[in-house]
Amino acid sequence: MEITSSQAAFAVLAAIIVICSVLSVTTKRILRSATYLMFVLFASAGIYLLLNYHFLAAVQAAIYAGGILILLIFSIFLTSRPGEKLIHIAASQRVMSALAALFGFAICTFVIVRSGLKIAASASGKIDMHVIGHALMGSEKFQYLLPFEAISILLLASIIGGILIARKR
């Protein structure tokens, strides 16, 4: 079987995602697992690039790697002694988390198999920035993201209000 360059790139990215995901849950130091998570996020941004979804790749890098991961690292810094090895986890917790992981795996497999394992050809051509912009701001069918964003601003305002009320001076 002939291996195309995009298949090779996909294999490399998939290997990075799998290895770093496993490492990020098995490592004993919490900051290291955040770093492995960073590699996972970048590799998934790479997969979006491979699919020609440039916008989604940049969103992945900006929101997840540039925003959420930095928030995560800051919150790790605020916890006590981020560098120490994590304490041993009880057996019951291990069983529970293994079950949760298996359940998630089962759902994913079910969905993939049910959809008939269709190998869709990657969407040809890039999505133009204008199309995304119209989808975000438009008010027709499949174009209604602006209210969603407005609700998220309301959520932010209520979080800030909650902090202000709960904070004691």
Partner 1 sequence: MNLELRTLMQLIDEGLRANLPKFWAVAIECLSVGLALLAGYAVLAMLLIYVERKVCAWFQVRIGPNRVGPFGIFQTVADTLKMLLKEVIPINHVDRFLFYTAPFVVIAASMLTFAALPFAKGIQAIDFNIGVFYIMAISSISILGILLAGWSSNNKFSMIGAMRSGAQMISYELSVGLSLLAIVMLSGTMQLSTLVEQQADLWFIFQGHVPAFIAFVIYLIAGHAETNRGPFDLPEAESELTAGFHTEYSGIHFGFFYLAEYLNMFIIAGIAATVFLGGWQPLHIPGLDGFNYVMDFIPSFIWFLAKVFFLIFLSLWVRWTFPRLRIDQLLHLEWKYLMPLSLLNILIMAVLVVMGWHF
Which residues of the shown chain bind partner 1 in the complex (CB under 8 A)? 29, 31-32, 35, 38, 54-55, 58-59, 61-62, 65-67, 69-70, 73-74, 77, 82-83, 126, 128-129
Q: Which is nearer to partner 1, 17 or 64 (CB)?
A: 64
**CA–CA dist 110, 116 (Å, integer):** 10
Amino acid found at 122: S
What's the closest the beta carbon of residue 61 comes to partner 1, in angstroms? 4
Distance CA 7, CA 68 (A): 30
SS3 of 5-36: HHHHHHHHHHHHHHHHHHHHHHCCCHHHHHHH
Q: Smaller CB distance to partner 1: residue 14 or 76?
A: 76
Indicate the residue among 17 and 38 with the shorter CB distance to partner 1: 38
The distance of closest approach from Cβ of residue 86 to partner 1 in the complex, given in angstroms and rounded to an integer, is 14
To partner 1, the closest distance from the beta carbon of 1 in angstroms equals 17
Give one DSSP letter per residue of 82-115, joined into a string: TTSPPPPPPHHHHHHHHHHHHHHHHHHHHHHHHT
| Smallest gap from residue 34 Cβ to partner 1 (A) | 9
Q: Judged by CB, which is closer to partner 1: 70, or 157?
A: 70
Nearest 5°: the CA angle 128, 132, 133 is 110
